[in-house]
């Protein structure tokens, strides 16, 4: 069974950067689609990024394009979300998710992911 452990959240001022990590066990990047979601207080969960070992492209939400970048370390089986030029509206609990049958280009963020990690809080102050 795939297990995910997200970490790296914290409190920063607007304009600064944070890097989130998602340690993956029970699956590899070649087998899985990996996504980052976030949920702010009182708001619905929204997709942030999605990439799959079966696809070459990476999907980003419009709200984070040009500021957030995903990366993967195959040796550590860990995915990263580099968040630059953070805004107060980026404040949320961030989750990583994985699914062996997901296609980011086709499904966008609209389908359910099978595996979820516990969230990590990101707070951006103005």
Mean pLDDT of 75-93: 97
Give me the chain's average pLDDT, please.
95
Q: What backbone phi and psi angles, to 5 degrees, belong to 110? A: -90, -15
Q: Identify the pLDDT of residue 30.
A: 87
For the chain, percent of residues with pLDDT exceeding 70 = 100
Mean pLDDT of 41-61: 93
Q: Identify the pLDDT of residue 107.
A: 87
DSSP 82: E
Q: Which residues lie below 8 Å from residue 85, measured CB to CB, with a gap of 6+?
A: 15, 17, 67
CA 92 from centre of chain: 12
Better-scored residue on pLDDT, 64 or 28: 64
Q: pLDDT band at residue 54, thresholds of 50, 70 and 90?
A: confident
Q: Identify the pLDDT of residue 70.
A: 96
């Amino acid at each position: 069974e795939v297990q995910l452990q997200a970490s790296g959240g914290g409190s920063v001022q607007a304009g600064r950067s944070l890097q989130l990590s998602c340690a993956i066990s029970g699956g590899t990047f070649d087998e899985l689609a990996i996504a980052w979601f976030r949920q702010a207080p009182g708001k619905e969960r929204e997709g942030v990024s999605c990439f799959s070992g079966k696809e070459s492209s990476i999907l980003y939400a419009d709200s984070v394009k040009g500021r957030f970048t995903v990366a993967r370390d195959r040796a550590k089986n860990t995915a990263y979300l580099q968040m630059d030029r953070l805004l107060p509206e980026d404040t949320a609990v961030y989750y990583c998710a994985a699914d062996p049958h997901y296609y980011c280009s086709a499904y966008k963020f609209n389908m359910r992911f099978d595996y979820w990690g516990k969230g990590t809080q990101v707070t951006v102050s103005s």
